[in-house]
Structure 1
Amino acid sequence: MSADNFIPKPYSHSIENGSVSVQAPSNIALVKYWGKYGEQLPQNASVSFTLSECRTETTLHFEKISRSENFNFEVYLDGKREESFEPKIQKFFERVEKYVPFLKEYKFKIETKNTFPHSSGIASSASGMSALAVCLVQLENQLLGVNLSTALDETRESQLNKASFLARLGSGSASRSIEGPLVVWGVHPEIEGSSNLFGVKYPDAVHENFSNYQDTILLVDKGEKQVSSTVGHDLMHDHPYSAERFKEANNNLAKLKTIFKEGDLSAFIEIVESEALQLHAMMMASKPYFILMKPNTLEIINNIWDFRRETGSEVCFTLDAGANVHVLYPVSEKERVQKFIVEQLAVFCKNGEYIHDQCGLGARLIS
């Protein structure tokens, strides 16, 4: 499959105005994507847990206009115009116009809000871009006269793939927020149907140990990162260890296939924590080098290791490209681990803040 497969047929319907509302979650990668090429394509395959509570809710209002030379849109966050978001949406529209060619025929009002605190340090690009991408696909369905409630499974799958494809062009990790609870993005020889163009629901057997997996996000730092993810990805081009890192990531994903099937939590912990630390090791070995972890990030990691050693718990951590810590644990340990978080880890969070979350099923329409 190539990107040209996502260029639509001529539209058969005309829609004057309306709106569509979608909620889409964030996700947390277990095997990390860090380094890209071309137009938002990953250097290695990644796999993530789709979250449930940390999500973006977006309403796309649209009104037909005479075709314009420019995109006509405004972005509102929590009811207030947010012009600082608009350059990113402008760039996104430029990238996807070929695949949703109606963009310059409508005036858009994009209303969005997050269920997690603004400036919490949780990346909203994955949830935000995936929500907007699903809105665009839903509008295109109306223009094509597609009724997904009666469509064949093949049509539904193609719609999900297109939403993920579009989301990827806004934020690479957004490609993994369309479905859940486990999503793979990037070609991998052992993952059937995997693609660099879009994320796919993990297709193989998953042990019940991973059902309803829990993720508590510890908000260590709520400020703007000193180095953006975009810059960090770019630094991988001339990185002295990038080739080995890409190989290691793909090897770890291959190992996870067996782990997911057999439910081996000890092996899961080893890979997930190693992946988190490798991600930050690549940042520290970049030129120029940088560190996104904070002292309290390390305090939390050491406390998790101590707790696991002392209690035999299967709790573990992972990190995104920032200082916050995602505490992962099976639902069978929910009460014990959340007590540990309250009593021993919350003190290391900014203002004691954390968010309890769990695996979810991806984006969905809001009535």
Structure 2
Amino acid sequence: MKRAVVEAPANIALVKYWGKRNEELNLPLNDSLSMTLDLTVKTEVTLSREFDRDEVYVNQRRLSDEEVKEYAGRVMRSIRKVAGDQGLRAVVRSVSTFPESAGLASSAAGMAALVWACNEALGLGLDRKEISKLAREGSGSACRSIFGGFVLWKKGTRNDGSDSYCEELFPPSHWDLVDVIGLVSDSKKKISSREGMKRVRTAPTLDSRLEFVNRTLPKMIESIANRDESSFYELVMRHSNSMHSVIMDSWPPTWYLNDISIKVMEIIYAYGKAAYTFDAGPNPHVITSSSRADEIENLLRDAGARRVIVSKISQGPRTLEVG
């Protein structure tokens, strides 16, 4: 019996990905860029040939066999292949510090923690690049949570996904930014990200969005390298708008934002020294310098946020126990 306990962080995408060229391997249609947060998932993984199946518990809730098969199951198949032991089964217990299924990348942190823990428990010796590939198979954005700071996910072009992985562009210490998150809803999404991404091929504006990403990603990286607040904030907001525009342009129609989300967009744009961004959920992430965190928190509360979380830029996963 092998065991490991790890913590893995969530991340917020600054250049978004939405849509896949291969659903089984979670290969994206475009490169993306994220910032690693200090919101974490703590995961304990126990591996044994004595277990008759994989079991996953998230915040004390046992996932159904179908949920396990859809997410952790595909990762565990790959782990067993790498380990050369098809008899291994896993019991996974995961607890998050933030609401799941509310656009805060809990699945990304959880899947990153699962793969990191398996690598530690089994002594596989995989480097972060290879771990990011395995994490990607369970949840696309999970591959970005394997690294800290500002992280680039390369979409790759190969059919087997061998060139779709992540790398750290800038460490957490590069820029003193924070993510001020307004929780306007903690309810589960009606349409999952996985289902929403299946619809994106129906959007007439998809090709324009992909061209926009390819054209502006280098500018985003340059703005981070130079700590150019004006350019960075504009690009972050435009990339958020771009993703949600193509989501709403899909058929059947899908939307993740609500009235408070739109109100926050107006407020932060007018504020001028911060950027809003939204993953697949209504909760705004406002990126700004740490010195403005209190001011942004007040603005979010005034706009209707029931709770505000302030996250610094963080490192990647860390191992708490092995054996």
Same fold (TM over 0.5): yes
Preserved contact between residue 207 and residue 263 of structure 1 (Cα < 8 Å): no
RMSD: 2.6
- The yes-or-no answer on 1:31 pairing with 2:12 is no
Question: In the alignment, what sits opposite 2:76?
Answer: 93
Alpha-carbon deviation of 1:163? 1.2
Sort the Cα spacing of 1:34 and 1:105 in 2 relative to 1 into closer, same or farther, 3 A: same
- Look up the equivalent residue of 1:341 and give its one-letter code: E
8 Å CA contact 1:23, 1:56 repeated in 2 = yes
Q: Which amino acid aligns with 2:275?
A: C
- The answer for the alignment partner of 1:202 in structure 2 is 169
1:179 counterpart residue number:
147
What is the DSSP-based 3-state SS (H/G/I as helix, E as strand, rest coil) of the residue aligned with 2:266?
helix
Quick one: distance in 1 between partners of 2:269 and 2:282?
17
The answer (yes or no) to whether the contact 2:74–2:137 under 8 Å persists in 1 is no
* Amino acid in the other structure paired with 2:20: K
Amino acid at match of 1:98: K
Partner of 2:27: 41
Q: In the aligned structure 2, how far is the partner of 1:120 from the partner of 1:292?
A: 10
Letter in 2 for 1:322: G
Aligned to 1:153: none
- Structure 1 residue 244: deviation in Å? 2.1
Unaligned runs of 5+ in 1: 1-16, 147-157, 190-194, 309-313
Structure 1 residue 321: Cα displacement: 1.2
d(CA) in 2 for partners of 1:339, 1:258: 27
Q: TM-score, normalised by structure 2?
A: 0.88
Following the alignment from structure 1 to structure 2, what is the Cα–Cα distance between the partners of residues 201 and 57? 22
CA deviation after TM superposition for structure 1 residue 119, in Å: 5.8
Which residue does 2:278 correspond to in 1? 319
Q: What do residues 276-313 of structure 1 show as CA deviations (whole Å, max 9, x unaligned)?
A: 011110011112222211000011111222333xxxxx
> Cα deviation per residue 1:242-288 (whole Å; 9 max; x = unaligned)?
22211211221111232122221101011100000111100111122
Distance 1:324 1:64 in 2: 41
Distance change >3 Å, CA 263–CA 212, structure 1 → 2: closer
The answer on 1:304 being equivalent to 2:268 is yes
The structure with the largest alpha-carbon Rg is 1
Which of 284, 287, 295 lines up with 1:328 in the alignment? 287
Note if 1:357 corresponds to 2:311. yes
Say which SS state the counterpart of residue 221 (structure 1) adopts: coil
Quote the sequence identity (%): 29
**Residues 256 and 106 of structure 1: is their aligned pair in 2 closer, same or farther, counting only changes over 3 Å?**
same
For residues 238 and 118 of structure 1, the distance between their equivalents in structure 2, rounded to whole angstroms, comes to 28
1:97 CA displacement = 4.2
The number of residue pairs the alignment matches comes to: 314
For normalisation by structure 1, the TM-score amounts to 0.78
> For residues 1-367 of structure 1, what are the structure 2 equivalents within 5 Å?
17-38=1-22, 39-52=25-38, 54-65=39-50, 72-79=53-60, 81-83=62-64, 85-87=67-69, 88-94=71-77, 97-102=80-85, 104-118=86-100, 121-141=103-123, 159-187=127-155, 196-202=163-169, 211-308=175-272, 314-331=273-290, 333-334=291-292, 337-342=293-298, 344-349=299-304, 352-367=306-321
Structure 2 residues not aligned, in runs of 5+? none
Give me the whole-angstrom Cα distance separating, in 2, the residues matched to 1:181 and 1:244.
29
Q: CA deviation at 1:197?
A: 2.2
